[in-house]
Amino acid sequence: MPKSVAIVTGASQGIGRATAVRLARDFSALVLVARNSANLEDTAKAVRAVGAEVLAISADLAEPLAAQSVVAQTLAAFGQIDALLNIAGAVPQVDLFETTEQQWEAGLALKLHGARRLTIAAWPALVAAKGAVVLMSGNSASFPKAPYAAVGTINAAIVALAKAFSDKGISDGVQVNSVLPGPVMTGRRRSYLEHWAPLHNMSLEEATAKFPKEAGIARYGEPEEIAELMAFLVSPGARWMTGSALRMDGGEVKSI
């Protein structure tokens, strides 16, 4: 396999972990970034089992200096960056009038500004490699509602940010897209359902079945399905795709 290096953030769980394991088939080296060092090492083992080299970096990308550190460590270890997949960040689904200042700031700091800073820090290396970037948004960017206003607002900002990076990337030779997943069954979603179900006098099974029905979809997505889309976006087959916001949601969004 020719030398190629991808950075995956949020790699300790969920879509980030699934994406890292999937990309191990296409890249010779993976740089895995997340805050949970124990789970990160578990992902690293899975990536090595597929055959890729691994650099695992335990870092909080909400910290302003973390992005430069991740890029410096990546270039010291592998000398190049061919792809950057910004997946880290979860925003609490809290009502607009109940979301605290701290929750707003935490969501913005990691999911939006963490991705922005890391993309800027990696940009010179991405230009040199004619590389690709993906930013993780979500379906709520298209229909922000009061019960999850922060999620929708931040996801919409990420789509706009990706579009701005893609505009610069046209002249610099860097491809940039965003991905908007619908309801995906991750460990975080399971934890949410386990908390939500008893508060609404439901069993976990009833609560789990409720959300797909309300969303008008047949089932939840799986992290591995989103990982396949992420892998395509940083593959040679997607080189002419840039500035796109790709939705993968089982048909949740009904509008054109």
* CATH for 5-184+222-248 (3.30.428.10, 3.40.50.720, 3.40.190.10, 3.20.20.70): 3.40.50.720
Is 148 a catalytic site residue? yes
pLDDT of amino acid 146: 92
pLDDT of amino acid 153: 95
Contact between 174 and 130 under an 8 Å Cβ cutoff? The reply is yes
Structure tokens at 231: 């892998």
Give the domain ranges of the chain: 5-184+222-248, 186-220
In whole angstroms, what separates CA 168 from the centre of its chain? 21
Q: Which helix (H) or strand (E) holds 2?
A: none
The whole model's pTM is what?
0.95
- Starting at the edge strand found earlier in the chain, the sheet holding 175-181 runs 53-58, 29-34, 5-9, 83-86, 132-136, 175-181, 245-248
pLDDT of amino acid 4: 98
CA 205 – CA 191 distance, rounded (Å)? 13
User: Up-side HSE of residue 155: CA atoms within 13 Å toward CB?
Assistant: 26
Task: Report how far apart, in Å, the C-alpha atoms of 152 and of each of 35, 82, 87, 129, 244 are.
Answer: 24, 30, 16, 33, 18
pLDDT (tens digit per residue) in 47-90: 999 999 999 999 999 999 999 999 999 999 999 999 999 999 98
Q: Which residues of the chain have pLDDT under 50?
A: none
DSSP summary character for residue 51: T
pLDDT of amino acid 79: 98
pLDDT of amino acid 31: 99
**Per DSSP, what are the bridge partners of residue 57?**
33
Strand residue runs (E) in 87-141: 132-136
pLDDT of amino acid 36: 95
**Per DSSP, what are the bridge partners of residue 48?**
none
pLDDT of amino acid 221: 96
CA 199 – CA 209 distance, rounded (Å)? 16
Q: Which of 148, 153, 155, 175 is catalytic?
A: 148
Contact between 147 and 93 under an 8 Å Cβ cutoff? The reply is yes
CA 85 – CA 7 distance, rounded (Å)? 6
Nearest to residue 61, comparing CAs of 107, 104, 30, 93? 107
CA 163 – CA 165 distance, rounded (Å)? 5
pLDDT of amino acid 106: 93
